[in-house]
Structure 1
Amino acid sequence: MSHIHLLSPLLANQIAAGEVVERPASVVKELLENSLDAAAKRIDIDVEQGGIKLLRIRDDGCGISEKDLSLALARHATSKIHNLEDLEHVCSLGFRGEALASISSVSRLTLTSRTLNCEQAWQVSTEGQQMNCQIQPSAHPNGTTLEVRDLFFNTPARRKFLKTEKTEFDHIQEVIRRLSLAHFEVAFHLTHNGKTIFTLHPALDEIARARRVGIVCGSEFINQSTPISIEKEGLSLYGWVGFPTFSRSQADLQYFYVNGRMVRDKLVAHAIRQAYRDVLYNGRHPTFVLFLQLNPALVDVNVHPTKHEVRFREARLIHDFLYSSLHRALAEVRPQDHLTHTINTPLEKQNITGKQAGEFLGQAEIGLTPSTRRPLPINQKTYFDTSPTNNLPPLNDIKAGYEAFYAPLSKAEDTQTHTLETPDIPVLGYALAQLKGIYILAENQHGLILVDMHAAHERITYERLKLAMETEGLRGQPLLVPETIMISQREADCAETHQQWFGRLGFELQRFGPETVAIRQIPALLKQAKASQLVKDVLADLLEYGTSDRIREHINELLATMACHGSIRANRQLAIPEMNALLRDMEQTERSGQCNHGRPTWVQLALDDLDKLFLRGK
């Protein structure tokens, strides 16, 4: 066994580079963060061969003075923190003082900078080896330029792990996209092999910011999302949340920022996933661009060298704030919100193809009104049938009063007639007919509305059952023989700490020993559930996230099943007033754009879409 010795400065820097510099995109991230910390308003990024040959980043920030330039490439040298108090209130993107030293140890690096009040610029260069950096005068405008050439030229083993030029450049673009979303006030210009890829101008108002989000994330995202802005208890959340119907097969359109720093945090991911749980189709991923602002003292960003991870000091507060804010924002989305964005969206971007739409229309065995100006009767005194023939399941321990929440739709007013020229046309329009006993066809100002009547009524019934449950509360049912479970002491302590919380949800837990808990009562609705496993899962959530929705999730699953059985079925023939009553309820019901399983309940076919089906105007 060899003797203990100190690592050489070069080897120490190269080891650090293994943590910080994974690929060219890692270099771009570190250098862009330095430029942003220097209050740059314009940043130019020049890339050659995917960043392997050259990365040049120029900014118009505050620059680095001559006397500080000699320390700029030294390890653990920074201008951003001075003491422990600064470390506990980090407000800058970079602060560890490792990036430039690590990058310079595996590349040929040239740093040129000029401060505002200096008459000339100064330059320093290194070539992947420890030496006394020579500073020399140079010509340069105010700001800083960093050139990184021949990345990993002196560590060929690392260079072998790099991917193709295209792949590496794609990673660089993703880094720039992330940072451009967090810094709307900064202009970004990117070139690759001498070709301009994109230019992002400063976005100083809401319209310009939405335009930048559309450029970065795609215009379809900005068209299929709703803006949010919520402040509570010193926390601020704003940004854009994608509609549940605009989900993706991968989690590749998710941008979450904490005090301007993009992070990937499992607590944040869990809160967002829970908020979407009731409206997202199985296996799909939500889309969002969200910014969380909070006191820097409440978040620890010094968790990982790449700073992608953070640790919240009040984890449960953050989780509950994110969940409640997004859950409410999604609940408040109404058909008119979808309609505002989809009118000018091409048919092929509305989750329905021209072929499918043609099939819908081609199978129509209905008598459409000969003119859109023909009056349509609505709101007759008609209700859906709530007799036992609806095959409603027994409600077991739900109070008999809940039967009223299967009464499906809004009470009618006196019979009226309306035309599509009426100024106050409802968002989902007026029913025309029923197709194959499955779909409702309605006409609004913009064209044709197709509604899956079972899916829509299922959501309406489900929301009413949930409202009734929240109003009446959860009733517990004592077990004849208490069920004893063996758990860890940490879990038992958690169960004892949250005993009142369990009680509000219908559970009664009693601790019998250091690692033993008895279940004496469970919610009446969950009497068929495996209580021991449910309690263990809930305790695991409480220990991991400080909160749990598993009990509510089980209850909601039961209510969703009841709503499914209690809703109108396929092939049920509805009269025009019944269809209109369903449309009006959809316009007022939370989350009515999706059924209980996350599938869409309706789609809009604008006149332009219909014209394309028949090649009109060609």
Structure 2
Amino acid sequence: MLSSIYTLPEEVVNLIAAGEVIDSVAAVVRELVENSLDAGATRIVVAVWTQHWRIRVADNGCGMKLTDLQQAAIAHSTSKIRNRDDLWKITSLGFRGEALHSLTQLARLEIMSRLALTAEGWHVRYDAGGQVSEATTVAIAPGTVVTVSDLFGNVPNYREGLPAIAQQMKAVQSTIQQIALCHPHVTWQVWQDDREWFTISAGKTSQHLLPQFIRQVRVSDLQELTVEVPHPDTLSTQPYSNDTATRAFIKLVLGLPDRCHRHRPDWVRVAVNGRRVKLPEIEQTILTATARTLPHDRYPICFLHLQVAPNHINWNRHPAKAEIYLHHLDYWQEKVAQAIEQALRLNSETIPESLHNSRVSKLIKAAEATSGYNFSRQIQPGADVEEGTQNSKPPPYILKAVAQVNNTYIVTEHPGGLWLVEQHIAHERVLYEQLVDNWQLVALEPAIILSNLSPAQRSQLEHIGIEIEFFGEQMWAIRNIPAMLQTREDCADALLELSLGGDLQTAQVAVACRSAIRNGTELSLEEMQTLLNQWQRTRNPRTCPHGRPIYLSLEESALSRFFRRHWVIGKSHGI
């Protein structure tokens, strides 16, 4: 149950960031539902009557007693904080005590509320100053119902300057979705003009809510990860504490880049301690960490929720609490990038184990060694480790090479089913990450001679570190080259490709693509297994650097349904 409501002392009021809190219908909804969440609500019903400028928010929270209802709409009255020190340990969504008082000045406000263990509730109406004008008993379910009527009725010019109703309702929907993502355990029902508009079903985590907001995205298209990290100020000053008040968590829901992405960066969302906020630095970290996993001009689907100790955040920056000061920002950027890298890896945490993996082996044994299949069940000794790393730790999640289809796709078995891995782009991903980690230019002897290079092409080669010298009329000598291209016969073609533009990262992608094995190349089972081991160790194994998916998943459950293998012994045989 919330603490009793008191009026804040003047010294605290003067420290609080003041400003317009209620400036739209969406702002009213935001302030009221945040109060509901602070009251512990698990079900919230929002109703908006657009023609009457009326909003109602009902919840099943803890409710309020009469003395708190009498104090609730007075300026700077709140149950969330008491003194100036509390501003540095905010754990609630609201704390300023301004919203309800502002509503009494802009609209007609009434509240019905009942405590869970009491027999009756109270219906209270407020005047323009926030004082109670009428209070009567009422029979309602435990919880609170707040009704705001004739919003901005006393400032008609302001009402006329607001966006069209359709835009305002879109803002209301966006506001509710953002809040719901941060509180997935809450069920929402939203009405517009006496007709049900949309609902949001509660879920275990935010991963189960995103498909309700984004069309064509399924739960299986999303990877969820929760990482516990120490607070930066505990790393050197004191041992890491198990106290829940000092733990930090990074909760990440990331759209798998081979399955879903967006044309705009409109679903890169960041929340801190239960509230969606604007943190451009963290958002840019997300975009950078996923840049070479998506197709050109595509953006990730990502919801990041940081849960940190209250004293690491200063909420007192913006009246609507949409902007914050986050201490040790560089540290959190680093941890977020590491969490995204972990979520994109292939391992036992990101790929669920199947309880029926033996079925897959039986299915594979029934295959025939015909047509375009290079088939063998024998893996040569040492094929499951990379050359020179026989003593290294095995891959975190073993993929077993089974066959090669049309000298292009590697049939791969894992406990959850089958994958078809496209060998060229899998190798391209391996080589690209090797280049990023160890970009090396080696001397050429003799030099490669290129002709008819434009000034822009010569400038581009120099930009990525290639040494180029004038060698005669319309001829230039190349004195060094990326090490990976050194032994290739098409070095000149590769250099021309590098000269066509882009930054160093683009050049590394081009080199990886040029150096990767070609489709149509026949591989032995040992070579296939080595490639799989290298590929599954990469940081971003789901897509190539151009953003193309690397593998097609044929999960065991789907295979079972297709081959109708859900049967009872005897019955399916006519016994």
How would you bin the TM-score normalised by the shorter chain?
A: 0.5 to 0.7
CA contact (8 A) 1:17 1:106 kept: no
The 1:219/1:598 distance shift into structure 2, 3 A limit, reads closer
What letter corresponds to residue 192 of structure 2 in structure 1? Answer: H
Match of 1:135 in 2: 134
Question: Residue by residue, what CA displacement relative to the aligned partner does 1:536-588 show, whole Å, maximum 9, x if unpaired?
Answer: xxxxxxxxxxxxxxxxx976555444323322346x54356556654554344
Question: Are 1:600 and 2:549 counterparts?
Answer: yes
Segment drifting more, 319-328 vs 572-581: 572-581
Cα distance in 2 for residues equivalent to 1:527 and 1:371: 47
CA contact (8 A) 1:334 1:591 kept: no
The residue matched to 1:256 in structure 2 has which SS? Answer: strand
Aligned-residue offset at 1:73: 1.9
Question: Are 1:432 and 2:405 counterparts?
Answer: yes
Match of 1:4 in 2: none
Cα distance in 2 for residues equivalent to 1:447 and 1:60: 45
The residue matched to 1:179 in structure 2 has which SS? Answer: helix
Decide which of 259, 264, 278 is 1:250's aligned counterpart: 264
Question: Residue by residue, what CA displacement relative to the aligned partner does 1:458-493 show, whole Å, maximum 9, x if unpaired?
Answer: 111122344556xx9x99xxxxxxxxxxxxxxxxxx
Match of 1:232 in 2: 229
Cα distance in 1 for residues equivalent to 2:399 and 2:326: 45
The 1:104/1:285 distance shift into structure 2, 3 A limit, reads farther
CA contact (8 A) 1:336 1:427 kept: no
Gaps of 5+ in 1: 1-15, 342-367, 384-408, 413-423, 476-523, 530-552, 611-618
Cα distance in 1 for residues equivalent to 2:557 and 2:219: 21
Match of 2:283 in 1: 269
Match of 1:403 in 2: none
Alignment of 1:53-452 (within 5 A): 53-116=53-116, 119-126=119-126, 129-130=128-129, 132-139=131-138, 140-200=140-200, 202-203=202-203, 206=204, 210-217=207-214, 220-234=217-231, 235-245=248-258, 246-330=260-344, 332-333=345-346, 375-376=375-376, 426=399, 430-434=403-407, 439-440=408-409, 442=411, 451-452=421-422
Aligned-residue offset at 1:124: 3.1
The residue matched to 1:237 in structure 2 has which SS? Answer: strand
* Identical aligned residues as a percent: 28
Aligned-residue offset at 1:428: 7.0
Alignment of 1:535-554 (within 5 A): none
Match of 1:36 in 2: 37
Match of 2:431 in 1: 461
CA contact (8 A) 1:46 1:191 kept: yes
Cα distance in 1 for residues equivalent to 2:168 and 2:546: 39
Cα distance in 2 for residues equivalent to 1:428 and 1:189: 50
CA contact (8 A) 2:207 2:224 kept: no
Cα distance in 2 for residues equivalent to 1:267 and 1:581: 39
Segment drifting more, 29-38 vs 264-273: 264-273
Aligned-residue offset at 1:599: 2.8
Aligned-residue offset at 1:57: 0.8
Cα distance in 1 for residues equivalent to 2:161 and 2:410: 57
Cα distance in 1 for residues equivalent to 2:27 and 2:116: 29
Question: Residue by residue, what CA displacement relative to the aligned partner does 1:242-264 show, whole Å, maximum 9, x if unpaired?
Answer: 22232211223333221111112
CA contact (8 A) 2:54 2:150 kept: yes
The residue matched to 2:32 in structure 1 has which SS? Answer: helix
Cα distance in 2 for residues equivalent to 1:592 and 1:210: 21
CA contact (8 A) 2:433 2:538 kept: yes
Match of 1:391 in 2: none
CA contact (8 A) 1:17 1:105 kept: no
The residue matched to 2:430 in structure 1 has which SS? Answer: helix
Aligned-residue offset at 1:154: 2.5
The 1:374/1:431 distance shift into structure 2, 3 A limit, reads closer
The residue matched to 1:255 in structure 2 has which SS? Answer: strand
Question: Are 1:568 and 2:517 counterparts?
Answer: yes
Cα distance in 1 for residues equivalent to 2:387 and 2:167: 59
CA contact (8 A) 1:430 1:580 kept: no
Match of 1:545 in 2: none
Cα distance in 1 for residues equivalent to 2:66 and 2:104: 19
CA contact (8 A) 1:181 1:212 kept: yes
Cα distance in 1 for residues equivalent to 2:208 and 2:217: 11
Question: Residue by residue, what CA displacement relative to the aligned partner does 1:503-542 show, whole Å, maximum 9, x if unpaired?
Answer: xxxxxxxxxxxxxxxxxxxxx996569xxxxxxxxxxxxx
Segment drifting more, 57-66 vs 298-307: 57-66
The 1:378/1:567 distance shift into structure 2, 3 A limit, reads farther
Cα distance in 2 for residues equivalent to 1:131 and 1:229: 43
Aligned-residue offset at 1:305: 0.9
Question: Residue by residue, what CA displacement relative to the aligned partner does 1:297-339 show, whole Å, maximum 9, x if unpaired?
Answer: 0111111111111111222222222222223332x23699579
Cα distance in 1 for residues equivalent to 2:349 and 2:94: 43
Match of 2:241 in 1: none
The residue matched to 2:217 in structure 1 has which SS? Answer: helix
Cα distance in 1 for residues equivalent to 2:417 and 2:130: 72
Match of 1:27 in 2: 28
What letter corresponds to residue 65 of structure 1 in structure 2? Answer: K
Q: TM-score, normalised by structure 1?
A: 0.62
CA contact (8 A) 2:400 2:529 kept: no
Cα distance in 2 for residues equivalent to 1:174 and 1:161: 21
The residue matched to 1:134 in structure 2 has which SS? Answer: strand
What letter corresponds to residue 276 of structure 2 in structure 1? Answer: M
Match of 1:519 in 2: none
Aligned-residue offset at 1:30: 0.5
The residue matched to 2:227 in structure 1 has which SS? Answer: strand
More helix, by proportion: 1
Match of 2:499 in 1: none
Segment drifting more, 258-267 vs 212-221: 212-221
Cα distance in 1 for residues equivalent to 2:249 and 2:348: 27
- How many residue pairs align between the two structures? 452
Question: Residue by residue, what CA displacement relative to the aligned partner does 1:214-239 show, whole Å, maximum 9, x if unpaired?
Answer: 43456725211222121121321123
What letter corresponds to residue 539 of structure 2 in structure 1? Answer: E
The residue matched to 1:22 in structure 2 has which SS? Answer: coil
Aligned-residue offset at 1:45: 1.7
What letter corresponds to residue 244 of structure 1 in structure 2? Answer: P
Cα distance in 1 for residues equivalent to 2:420 and 2:52: 52
Cα distance in 1 for residues equivalent to 2:398 and 2:39: 54
Cα distance in 2 for residues equivalent to 1:280 and 1:199: 32
The residue matched to 1:562 in structure 2 has which SS? Answer: helix
The residue matched to 1:86 in structure 2 has which SS? Answer: helix
